[in-house]
Amino acid sequence: MANYKTGASPFQDYLTEIHAELRGMTGGAVADYIPELAKAAPESFAISFSTIDGQVYSVGDSGSAFSIQSVSKPFAYGGALMRLGEAALLRAVGVEPTGEAFNSIVLDERNNRPFNPMVNAGAIAVAALQDGATPAARIAAMQALFSDFAGRALGIDEAVYRSEAETGHRNRAIAYLMLNSGMIARDPEEVLDLYFRQCALLVTTEDLAVMGATLANNGVNPRTGKRVLGSAEVRDVLTLMMSCGMYDYAGEWSYDVGLPAKSGVSGAVLAVLPGQLSIAIWSPPLDPIGNSVRGVAACSRISRDFGLHLFMNAATVEDVIRRETRASRQPSLRIRNPRERDLLAQEGEKIALVELQGALYFASAERMIRRLGRLIAEVRYLVLDFRRLNSIDGAALRFFDDFLTRSRAAGVEIAFAEIGGGTADTAGLISGLARDRGVRVFGAVDTALETYEDMVLDLAREPYDHTNFALDTIRLFQGLEPAQLRRIEQLIQPMQFEAGAHILRTGEDGRMFFVLARGSVSVMVETGQDERLRVGCIGPGQFFGEMAVLEGGPRSADVIADERVVCYGLTVAHLDDLAAEDPHILSTIFANMAREFASRIRAGNRVISQLQ
CATH number for the domain harbouring residue 405 = 3.30.750.24
In this prediction, residue 291 carries a pLDDT of: 94
| Enzyme catalytic residues | 70, 73, 195, 247, 265
Q: Which long-range contacts (CB under 8 A, 24 or more apart) does 435-443 make?
A: 437/401, 437/404, 439/404, 439/414, 439/415, 440/413, 440/414, 440/415, 440/416, 441/415, 441/416, 441/417, 442/383, 442/415, 442/416, 442/417, 442/418, 443/417, 443/418
Stretch 185-211: mean pLDDT: 97
Q: Is the pLDDT assigned to residue 136 strictly greater than 80?
A: yes
In this prediction, residue 7 carries a pLDDT of: 43
Q: Please give the Cα distance from 455 to 340 (Å, whole number).
A: 12
Q: Highest-confidence range of 74-83, 299-308, 404-413, 486-495, by mean pLDDT?
A: 74-83
Other Cβ atoms less than 10 A from the Cβ of 7: the count is: 12
Q: Please give the Cα distance from 33 to 150 (Å, whole number).
A: 28
Condensed to tens digits (0 to 9), the pLDDT of residues 146-169 reads: 999 999 999 999 999 999 999 999
Residue 2 confidence class, pLDDT cut points 50, 70, 90: very low
Q: Which of 3-7, 47-51, 173-177, 348-352 has the lowest mean pLDDT?
A: 3-7
End-of-domain residue from the set 312, 331, 362? 312
334 by DSSP, 3-state: which?
strand
In a domain, 205, yes or no: yes
Do residues 306 and 352 both lie within one domain? no
Q: Please give the Cα distance from 446 to 2 (Å, whole number).
A: 35
Do residues 296 and 335 both lie within one domain? no
In this prediction, residue 475 carries a pLDDT of: 76
Q: Please give the Cα distance from 610 to 22 (Å, whole number).
A: 48
Q: What average pLDDT is seen over the chain?
A: 87
Measured in whole angstroms, how far is the alpha carbon of residue 408 from the centre of its chain?
Answer: 20
Residues making up the chain, counted from first to last? 612
Q: Is the dihedral of CA 126, 132, 135, 140 positive or negative?
A: negative
Do residues 450 and 351 both lie within one domain? yes
The domain that holds 144 is classified in CATH as: 3.40.710.10
In a domain, 107, yes or no: yes
In a domain, 197, yes or no: yes
Q: Is the pLDDT assigned to residue 598 strictly greater than 90?
A: no
Q: Please give the Cα distance from 210 to 476 (Å, whole number).
A: 63
Answer for the pair 348, 326: CB distance below 8 angstroms, yes or no: yes
Stretch 417-424: mean pLDDT: 82
Do residues 261 and 298 both lie within one domain? yes
The total number of structural domains that make up the chain: 3
Q: Is the pLDDT assigned to residue 214 strictly greater than 90?
A: yes
In this prediction, residue 606 carries a pLDDT of: 58
Residue 125 confidence class, pLDDT cut points 50, 70, 90: very high
Answer for the pair 585, 488: CB distance below 8 angstroms, yes or no: yes
Residue 609 confidence class, pLDDT cut points 50, 70, 90: low
In this prediction, residue 197 carries a pLDDT of: 97
Higher-scoring residue by pLDDT: 548, 19: 19
Measured in whole angstroms, how far is the alpha carbon of residue 156 from the centre of its chain?
Answer: 36
Do residues 308 and 347 both lie within one domain? no
In a domain, 465, yes or no: no
Answer for the pair 488, 482: CB distance below 8 angstroms, yes or no: no
End-of-domain residue from the set 404, 432, 460? 460
- Determine if residue 547 is left, alpha or beta; phi over 0 gives left, psi from -120 to 50 gives alpha, anything else beta: alpha
Do residues 297 and 379 both lie within one domain? no
The domain that holds 504 is classified in CATH as: 2.60.120.10
- Determine if residue 515 is left, alpha or beta; phi over 0 gives left, psi from -120 to 50 gives alpha, anything else beta: beta
270 by DSSP, 3-state: which?
strand
End-of-domain residue from the set 270, 293, 312? 312
In this prediction, residue 46 carries a pLDDT of: 97
Q: Is the pLDDT assigned to residue 605 strictly greater than 70?
A: no
In a domain, 529, yes or no: yes
Answer for the pair 200, 157: CB distance below 8 angstroms, yes or no: yes
In this prediction, residue 509 carries a pLDDT of: 86
Do residues 330 and 282 both lie within one domain? no
Nearest-10 crossing angle of helices 188-199, 120-127: 110
Q: Which of 29-38, 102-111, 500-509 has the lowest mean pLDDT?
A: 102-111
6 by DSSP, 3-state: which?
coil
Q: Is the pLDDT assigned to residue 317 strictly greater than 80?
A: no
Do residues 108 and 161 both lie within one domain? yes
Do residues 508 and 551 both lie within one domain? yes
Other Cβ atoms less than 10 A from the Cβ of 325: the count is: 16
Q: Please give the Cα distance from 96 to 98 (Å, whole number).
A: 6
In this prediction, residue 464 carries a pLDDT of: 46
Q: Highest-confidence range of 409-423, 527-541, 589-603, by mean pLDDT?
A: 409-423
In this prediction, residue 4 carries a pLDDT of: 33
Do residues 131 and 189 both lie within one domain? yes
In this prediction, residue 311 carries a pLDDT of: 79
Q: Please give the Cα distance from 275 to 375 (Å, whole number).
A: 25
- Determine if residue 535 is left, alpha or beta; phi over 0 gives left, psi from -120 to 50 gives alpha, anything else beta: alpha
Phi, psi of 587 (to 5 degrees): -65, -35
Q: Which of 48-57, 250-259, 302-311, 531-540 has the lowest mean pLDDT?
A: 531-540
**Which residues make beta-bridge pairs with 197?**
none
Q: Please give the Cα distance from 449 to 334 (Å, whole number).
A: 9
Q: Please give the Cα distance from 281 to 268 (Å, whole number).
A: 6
Higher-scoring residue by pLDDT: 527, 371: 371
Do residues 498 and 597 both lie within one domain? yes
CB neighbour class for 472 (10 Å; exposed up to 12, middle 13-18, buried from 19): exposed
Q: Is the pLDDT assigned to residue 602 strictly greater than 90?
A: no
Higher-scoring residue by pLDDT: 331, 73: 73
Residue 579 confidence class, pLDDT cut points 50, 70, 90: confident
Query: Considering the entire predicted model, what is its pTM?
Result: 0.69
In a domain, 490, yes or no: yes
Stretch 369-375: mean pLDDT: 89
Q: Is the pLDDT assigned to residue 328 strictly greater than 70?
A: yes
Domain assignment of residue 105, given as a range: 10-312
Residue 452 confidence class, pLDDT cut points 50, 70, 90: very high
Sheet hosting strand 512-518, strand order edge to edge = 493-497, 565-571, 512-518, 543-544
C-alpha distances (whole Å) from 316 to each of 272, 429, 487 are 13, 22, 69
Do residues 343 and 437 both lie within one domain? yes
> How does strand 413-417 pair with strand 381-392?
parallel
Higher-scoring residue by pLDDT: 308, 379: 379
Answer for the pair 115, 122: CB distance below 8 angstroms, yes or no: yes
In a domain, 4, yes or no: no
Answer for the pair 238, 274: CB distance below 8 angstroms, yes or no: yes
Nearest-10 crossing angle of helices 572-581, 482-491: 150
In a domain, 1, yes or no: no
Range list of H helices, 307-412:
338-347, 362-375, 394-409
